[in-house]
Chains A and B, each alone.
Chain A
Amino acid sequence: DVKVTQSSRYLVKRTGEKVFLECVQDMDHENMFWYRQDPGLGLRLIYFSYDVKMKEKGDIPEGYSVSREKKERFSLILESASTNQTSMYLCASSFRGEGSYEQYFGPGTRLTVT
């Protein structure tokens, strides 16, 4: 079974703090993704990585950065957390092959910024 794990299920941080969200997958997937999910808005892509040290901006990258130093690990960084970054953050991974679009998700991290 594919397993995607995220470092925390719940996180509470103060405005201005630097926040690290970690994601690890055990299926040797090339692609990894970070989304945020908000009511009524669905999942929105923040950043995407298709290989180690490679990254692409998604639809809402402002206020976020990412790091992919190892194939299995993809980190999301909030340089200076703000209250509008309170959300559910979901990490996902997938193979990079023709027709391989299925993404496997981690359990999510519910981040509250106060």
Chain B
Amino acid sequence: RKEVEQDPGPFNVPEGATVAFNCTYSNSASQSFFWYRQDCRKEPKLLMSVYSSGNEDGRFTAQLNRASQYISLLIRDSKLSDSATYLCVVTPYSNDYKLSFGAGTTVTVRA
């Protein structure tokens, strides 16, 4: 079983729509959770960390559900520039700098 699993999509949404997607992780001991964003033919970049209480960064909201071992990302008022692949990232062990990456969820925002 993969450590991090994501629905690959693609999610095709019109501008202004809300889109949400989840990822699941297999190791219940995982400590830290992130969403990275990867534009086409570019390198991944940190979008936001995911905290237990949930957190927002502008139009982006991340949630963590430890009991069910999933994290979610919601994008409100989608912009064309939000088109990207969103990578779910987990640290499988505490005090470990290694990250486990999901294969990514592709979002395409159309005009």
Contacts and interface: CB of A to CB of B under 8 A. Distances in A.
A74 to B, nearest CB: 14
Interface residues of A, number: 24
A103 B102 contact: no
B43 A90 contact: yes
Nearest to B34: A101
B103 A41 contact: yes
Contact of B97 (A31, A44, A105): A31
Interface in B62-78: none
Interface in A46-71: 48, 50, 58
Contacts of A75: none
Given A105-B43, A106-B43, A96 B97 contact: yes
Contacts of B103: 40-42
- Tell me what chain A mostly uses at the interface: helix, strand, loop, or mixed: loop
A106 B32 CA distance: 22
Contacts of A35: 101
Interface in A1-59: 31, 33, 35, 40-45, 48, 50, 58
A76 B106 CA distance: 29
B39 to A, nearest CB: 11
A105 B44 contact: yes
Contacts of B8: 40
Given A40-B103, A101-B91, A45 B98 contact: yes
Contacts of B101: 35, 42-44
B42 A107 contact: yes
Nearest to B95: A98
B46 interface: yes
